[in-house]
Amino acid sequence: MSITLTGTIERRDIGTGAWALVTEEGVTYEILKGADKNLLKAGQKAKVKGQVREDIMTIAMIGPVLEVKSFEVI
């Protein structure tokens, strides 16, 4: 199922490092590796469309894993 989220990009120093999207409601999603480098800038606000992947786990385990399909910097 596709979702659209708005929030702030954060870099987390957990394990080998992870990128996260923290929504305006305070929910943290871990961005799946392979996302566009233009999205991965700490402090940047973005509107992201993607899919929550319940079939994978990560080392960081900071929240649901979000596979980014598209985004818009705001």
Query: Residues 41-61: pLDDT tens digits?
Result: 999 999 999 999 999 999 899
Q: Which overall architecture, per CATH, does domain 2-73 show? A: Beta Barrel (2.40)
* Domain assignments of the chain as residue spans, ordered by start: 2-73
The DSSP secondary structure of 24-42, one letter per residue, reads TTS-EEEEPTT--TTT--T
Read off the pTM: 0.92
pLDDT tens per residue, range 21-45: 999 999 999 999 999 999 999 999 9
Contact criterion met (CB below 8 Å) for 51 and 69: yes
